[in-house]
Amino acid sequence: MKALMSLGALIGVAGLLLLGGMIFDIVPSTTIRLVEGYMPMQLLFEVGCYVIGFAGLSYILNAMGMAIPRFWQGIGFWVFFLMYLKYRVYPPIPFSVRAMYGTVSLVAVFMWVSANEEDWQKFKQPIMNVLDAQTGMNKLLRYAYLFLLPILIGGFSYNAMMPKSEEPIELRTVHPAPPASTKVHGKTYTLQTSQNPYRVNTEGKYDQEYTNANIVEQGMGRLMKPNANPWDEKNQGYLKYVREGGEIFFQNCHFCHGDNLNGRGLHAFAFNPIPANFTDPGTIAQLQETFIFWRVAKGGIGLPNEGFPWASVMPPWEQHLTVDEIWKVILFEYWHTGYYPRTWD
Amino acid sequence: MMDSITHKAGLLTAAAFGIVLGASFGSTVVSAQGMPEGFKKGDLAPPPSAEMIEAGKRVYFTKCVWCHGVDGAGDGPGADRLWPRPRNFNQGTFKIRHTASGELPLFDAKKPIAGQNDLFETVTHGLPGSAMPPWEGILTEEQRLQVLSFVTTELVKDRKFTDKESETQSILQLGELNPKQATEESIKRGAELVVEKKCVECHGMEGRGDGNAFNLKDDWGFSIQPADWHKCWNFRGSRQDPYSVRNIFRTFSTGVNGTPMPSFADNTTVDERWDIANFVNSLCERDPLGNPLPIDPLTDKPKINFVIPSDPVEGEIPTDIAAEAWAKAPKRYVAMGGQITHKPRNFVNRIDDIWVRSLYNDQHIVYLLEWDDRTKSVAEGKLPWAPTEVNIDVKEQDPKTGEEGSIAAHQNNYTVYNDAIAIQTAVKWKELPAPIKPRYLFGTNEQFPVDIVKWEADGSLRAFLGTGWDQDFQERDNYEESMKILMAEWKNGRWYVMIQRPVGNKKDQDYDEDTFFEVGQYIPTVFFAWDGHNGDAGRKMAVSAFYYTFMNPPVPQETYIYPVVIAVGVVLLEGWVLTRRANRKKGKTL
């Protein structure tokens, strides 16, 4: 038990040091990376670790005779959680959302400290002590509060009333519902029935199994399968078209969507919303190839009304690329990210 | 094409040059071993294993080949639409090194240690300001070493990293040299040295990279521009730490191979180099308090605030840039990307940011726009199209690779057009529900048009109505007299332009054409910029995302009254709680 708790305490101290370092900019905030797509799970896991750590810490301190009063434990945990939200989570979440989380966690802390009558007494004892002011220290505190509280609250309300220019929060539907069909270069494509004409095996037959077997491997780096190099000149079918798609991608798309298809291209920093990250499991991995076809062909301008706020700079690629080129680029995007397109069945 | 013999000869001549230089000026700084100050002789690294090379090939053909090409000649499919171009590995010419000018960079497949492995750091941190991204977090450390093993052995063809006969390594001992304090004195000395050492001839009088800007070529004959010292986040060797004086010191000590940037190790002392590095570092943009700008770790550029606040001014808005009101006005960094969505597209974008300030009074709003542009471009004679024309015929860059006839070879032979800047605001922004903005480029349609105010370097200021990306602008009449250029000056590689436009008045003006600037509201605003020497015209331009102009309201009276009322209320509440508690206790004890 003791060993387990010491381990917990160690985690707690290490975690606190890390967070402290990040707050004061000693430790770069990228030390432990937030992995795209797994961020919520990662954050929950981290907070879980902290809770275990704090339990351990509290146990150890108790055993050493330096127990922290329940009152400070409650406040401490709440402050920790606010700091965590503010400094750990990146990209930063707006204050209004943090305030919501903060309120919820405050309620949780109250539920914890008032779980039974004894705990609740312990929790409110320090407050009562200050109100009663029996000792010199408490008297001092009481006067300090008497002055500080009105000044602080007055200050906060002044701050809140001062006209400010914070960025308005913008919400948008990332994957708006696609139309039933789309007309590109004079031909109508029904999204439910269209197929990528280049998803073919070496004999030129549509073959999902074959093409899925030749995409890059999942895992760090997402490297190509050792004997499926699209740059091999003897290639026929799928891999040949992947290469052609890649050539188009690196002449047109990587400026925004990035060399690694992660939305961090050369010009990406200038745009808002930032370009789509295809390596994120929430983008092309969730979609059918024909959906991508529609989005690529029609661009930001082709978005339906729920795709507001219409700030997308994605061009209608039908102006620049032929239908064949669009299909090849899509083929390349799935190859390079190692995802299978979703199918309709 | 360069061959290895020139390189070896280059080394000898470089050494000889150092001695001659020293003899003639009497200021050579060469240590006892014949090394410049701060350098030490190093050993060549052992060759990487065959397995590493083979594994690296797989990484290369998944990730790198698209720009660097099958033979590593920097001619992949993406190459010709990039500036700077991807590296040609064949000659073994690498820019960012700890080794002396002309030498191969440090690379050891078994030692991924910062400061001891140049190529590994380049792949890890990328080259900011170019299309080379940081591969950390995408490729494992092992994979990065593997791909470099492949590149250094198979794709570097003219030189050999392990050949003791032909290669030497003189390594800058950066870890052992402590940076000098960036005191005023050191910075001042650095400022004198950059003139004395002729840095300003290429980098310009203010260090904006505007000296001799369009005549420089790299080893392969491609045009290359001197660094702009005010944008340290674009320094290729910044290793994602732009305000680090060490990286500037390193570049200055080792030179940039393959470019006209020489090494200054032979004719400066270490002390002088720190002074210069301190000075160059001091020029990089900072916040009003002199602190480095916060850098966004996702983009390695300054963090963006999408609100451009405009402060109120009593009476006339000052036209002098040094006026107090302008000095106090918050300055915003507006990131610019190439317009690559509609033809003609701007793949090689030269204007990557604008600094915007704004002030307003009861009648006008003024934008002060500053941006770095290495050349002042004014079109000679009349432009071949009407200013309202959108679908103009500007030749787009071919994606053709190779040297002859490629865009890179012609990069600076464009027809010169006007430098220009434009501010696009939405006309009926109030009719759009809260976060909705009109379509991005030149407006949505007749129903939701945009208002475009455009200044060009020939001195013209015009107002247009944009009703769609492919629709010709409608020139707005009777509008010129209400707009004014308060300032338009190009100085040492930077434009300073002050544009004044009316805030609009719903009663007197046509609501269908004009944007009304209302105090305390978020007004969607986009910026466009054109670099005339880059052949920018029409839709070939730099664009920003949607920003918001926000006119800060004057502080209302209530802001001062209510907090006091609230504070008094809190005091009363405290009194009540205390009396209650006291009474209860009394009641208990009684």
Split at pLDDT 50, 70, 90, the class of B1 is: very low
Domain-embedded: residue A344: no
Question: Which H or E run contains B353?
Answer: strand B353-360
Q: What's the confidence (pLDDT) of residue B90? A: 95
Domain-embedded: residue A263: yes
Contacts of A252 in chain B (CB under 8 A): 340
Domain-embedded: residue A109: yes
Sites in chain A below the pLDDT cut of 50: none
For residues A326 and A334, is the Cβ–Cβ distance under 8 A? Answer: no
B561 touches chain A (CB under 8 A): no
Domain-embedded: residue A185: yes
Judge if A64 and A185 occupy the same domain. Answer: no
Q: Among A167, A216, A250, select the one facing B76 at the smallest CB separation.
A: A250
The CA distance from B76 to the nearest CA of chain A, in Å, is: 8
Q: What's the confidence (pLDDT) of residue B437? A: 67
Query: Token match 């009540």: residue?
Result: B576
The model's pLDDT over B178-198, given as tens digits with 9 standing for 90+, comes to 999 999 999 999 999 999 999
Hey, are the CB atoms on A161 and B562 less than 8 Å from each other?
Answer: yes
Question: How many folded domains does chain A comprise?
Answer: 2
Judge if A193 and A54 occupy the same domain. Answer: no
**CATH number belonging to domain B9-283:** 1.10.760.10
Q: What's the confidence (pLDDT) of residue B417? A: 87
Q: Where are the alpha helices (DSSP H) in B155-307?
A: 184-196, 199-203, 245-254, 270-283
Q: Record the tokens describing residue B401, joined without a space.
A: 């690779």
Domain-embedded: residue A122: no
Hey, are the CB atoms on A222 and B62 less than 8 Å from each other?
Answer: yes
B70 touches chain A (CB under 8 A): yes
What ranges do the domains of chain B cover?
9-283, 304-378+419-551, 558-590
Q: What's the confidence (pLDDT) of residue B351? A: 93
Q: Among B140, B301, B338, select the one facing A221 at the smallest CB separation.
A: B140
> What average pLDDT does this structure show over B286-309?
91
Query: Counting one residue from A and one from B, how many pairs have CB atoms under 8 Å apart?
Result: 204
* A180: exposed, middle or buried (Cβ count in 10 Å: 0-12, 13-18, 19+): exposed
Residue B405 pLDDT > 50: no
Judge if A210 and A302 occupy the same domain. Answer: yes
Judge if A312 and A188 occupy the same domain. Answer: yes
Question: Which residue, among B139, B148, B311, B341, would best test binding to A if mutated, counting the most A CBs under 10 Å from its CB?
Answer: B341
Judge if A109 and A185 occupy the same domain. Answer: no
The model's pLDDT over A128-174, given as tens digits with 9 standing for 90+, comes to 888 888 888 888 888 888 889 889 998 888 888 877 777 777 666 66
Q: What's the confidence (pLDDT) of residue A70? A: 84
Q: Which of residues 148-187 of B touch A (CB under 8 A)?
A: none
Domain-embedded: residue A176: no
Hey, are the CB atoms on B574 and A246 less than 8 Å from each other?
Answer: no
Hey, are the CB atoms on B337 and A223 less than 8 Å from each other?
Answer: no
Q: Record the tokens describing residue B183, joined without a space.
A: 């005191």
pLDDT above 70 covers a percentage of chain B that reads: 88
B304 touches chain A (CB under 8 A): yes
Hey, are the CB atoms on B65 and A231 less than 8 Å from each other?
Answer: yes
Name the domain boundary from A90, A113, A136.
Answer: A113
The whole domain housing A12 covers 2-113
What residues does A206 pair with on adjacent strands? A200
Judge if A82 and A216 occupy the same domain. Answer: no
Q: Shortest CA distance to B565 belongs to which of A150, A163, A152?
A: A150
Between the CA atoms of A247, A248, A250 and A255, what dihedral angle is there, to the nearest 10 degrees?
180
Q: What's the confidence (pLDDT) of residue B388? A: 86
The model's pLDDT over A204-248, given as tens digits with 9 standing for 90+, comes to 899 989 999 999 988 788 899 988 999 999 999 999 999 999 999
Residue B590 pLDDT > 50: no
Q: Shortest CA distance to B379 belongs to which of B453, B454, B457, B455?
A: B457
Gap between the Cα atoms of A311 and A300, Å rounded = 8
Cα dist from B394 to A204, B344, B383, B417, B540, whole Å = 40, 6, 12, 11, 8
Cα dist from B306 to A166, B331, B522, B523, whole Å = 9, 12, 10, 11
Domain-embedded: residue A201: yes
Q: What's the confidence (pLDDT) of residue B12? A: 44
Q: What's the confidence (pLDDT) of residue B422? A: 96
> In angstroms, how far is the first alpha carbon of chain A from the final one?
52
> What average pLDDT does this structure show over B70-96?
91
Question: Which residue, among A143, A214, A313, A337, would best test binding to B if mutated, counting the most B CBs under 10 Å from its CB?
Answer: A313
The CA distance from B188 to the nearest CA of chain A, in Å, is: 30
Q: Shortest CA distance to B528 belongs to which of B341, B327, B302, B319?
A: B341
Judge if A187 and A286 occupy the same domain. Answer: yes
Contacts of B552 in chain A (CB under 8 A): 163, 165
> What average pLDDT does this structure show over B374-393?
82
Question: Which residue, among A38, A87, A128, A161, would best test binding to B if mutated, counting the most B CBs under 10 Å from its CB?
Answer: A161
CA B27 to chain centre: 36
Q: Record the tokens describing residue B115, joined without a space.
A: 């400061």
Task: Give B321 or A159, the one with higher predicted confidence.
Answer: B321
Domain-embedded: residue A215: yes
B489 touches chain A (CB under 8 A): no
The CA distance from B159 to the nearest CA of chain A, in Å, is: 25
> What average pLDDT does this structure show over B219-247?
91
Q: What's the confidence (pLDDT) of residue B400? A: 56
Gap between the Cα atoms of B46 and B91, Å rounded = 20
**How many residues belong to chain B?**
590
Q: What's the confidence (pLDDT) of residue B272? A: 94
Residue B207 pLDDT > 90: yes
Q: Where are the alpha helices (DSSP H) in A68-135?
A: 70-83, 95-113, 117-132
Hey, are the CB atoms on B544 and A270 less than 8 Å from each other?
Answer: yes
Q: If DSSP codes are grouped into helix, strand and coil, which group holds residue B543?
A: strand
Find the closest chain B residue to A338 by CA distance: B62
Question: Which H or E run contains B425?
Answer: strand B420-426
Name the domain boundary from A84, A113, A142.
Answer: A113
CATH architecture of B304-378+419-551: Sandwich (2.60)
Contacts of B68 in chain A (CB under 8 A): none
B584 touches chain A (CB under 8 A): no
Hey, are the CB atoms on A162 and B78 less than 8 Å from each other?
Answer: no
The CA distance from B554 to the nearest CA of chain A, in Å, is: 8
pLDDT above 90 covers a percentage of chain B that reads: 54
Contacts of B77 in chain A (CB under 8 A): 246-248, 250-251
For residues B190 and B70, is the Cβ–Cβ distance under 8 A? Answer: no
The model's pLDDT over B520-548, given as tens digits with 9 standing for 90+, comes to 888 889 999 999 888 888 888 999 998 99
Burial A232-253 (b: 16+ CB within 10 A, else e): eeebebbbbbbbbbbbbbbbbb
Judge if A185 and A108 occupy the same domain. Answer: no
Name the domain boundary from A96, A113, A130.
Answer: A113
Q: What's the confidence (pLDDT) of residue B503? A: 87
Split at pLDDT 50, 70, 90, the class of B440 is: confident
Contacts of A169 in chain B (CB under 8 A): 435
Judge if A91 and A215 occupy the same domain. Answer: no
Comparing B9-283 with B304-378+419-551, is the CATH topology the same? Answer: no
Hey, are the CB atoms on A224 and B62 less than 8 Å from each other?
Answer: yes
Hey, are the CB atoms on B138 and A319 less than 8 Å from each other?
Answer: no
Give the Cβ contact number of residue B396 at 10 Å: 15
